[in-house]
Structure 1
Amino acid sequence: MGKLQLICDDVLTLEADALVCPAHKHLIRGRGLSEQIFERAGEALVSECSQLPECPVGEARITAAPDLFVNHLIHTVTPQWSSGDQWGAEALVQLRRCYESVLGLAREHGLQRLLFPALGAGTNRFPHEIAAHQGLDVLNKARGDFEVLTVCLHSQSALGTWQQVRERFL
């Protein structure tokens, strides 16, 4: 059975087969982690992304990862959290689909070691408790297909929340 780990670190300094990049649907420089990735990867990433078709919410695309410590980037467009209003259920389904799409691409490309940020919990404002529950459920079910799936959180507080969700629900 593969390993599912939760850590707090700078995801851009870690080695893996692929890093998951929260993406804009046109695969252009976004905000937050996306902006940092594009800053490091430079024009080569911009050029490769411009050749790919638009990426709707919940889908994923794969590119090389120039000037990063990973071999590939898997871009996925996460939904916006709408504070649990009438669109909240759809956003949960879309967030799960992000993880599933990423894992599907990783399987297709034979990638075994994946780095995930807290998808949706950054600039798209999903509460960490909700993002963790959705992400960990999908990742835990798929971990047997991979060597290691790592969720890298940006703060000790976020890490604590994800650990609590893992202990409670998995």
Structure 2
Amino acid sequence: MTSTAVLPLHAIGAPLPADPGAATVRSGFVELPAEAPYVGRARRFARCLLRRWGTGADLADSAVMVVSELAGNAVRHGAGHLIVAITSEAAVVTVMVTSRAPQRTGEADLGDPCERGRGLGIVAALADHLTVESTDAGWSVRATLTEGSAAGHGAASDP
């Protein structure tokens, strides 16, 4: 029988050096099993952290959606554990999800194409910048979102 341990949540905030007007850089991360029930925990972690930091509602909603999509991808395509890391400085939030194990080998069950395969497209529409990096240990995806950006969150719709 396999046992799964959930590691503690970590969040810190540290002001930049001695400039009283300097923005505070905040960061937090959580390591979770790469299993479907933990995607909700990743979302709750992000929502709680961003609320505690006073992040604007539109930016927080977009960042939580990004966490959900990236954590879901890590569960579907990875194995082992995933790490969700969030940083915030002024009106910029960066979300990074790392799969701690290499992708599973063999054929993937992609299911109904109407229901799957849009995750990174959604993230790309919400983020100002998106990078996907393959490492020996797995995958790392980083999305940067900015308050009021035209990338999707807080943007005005077409007339």
**Structure with higher helix content:** 1
**Structure with higher strand content:** 2
Shared fold (TM-score, shorter chain, > 0.5): no
Larger Rg: 2
TM-score, normalising length: structure 1: 0.29
Between 1 and 2, higher relative CO (CA 8 Å, sep ≥ 6) is seen in: 1
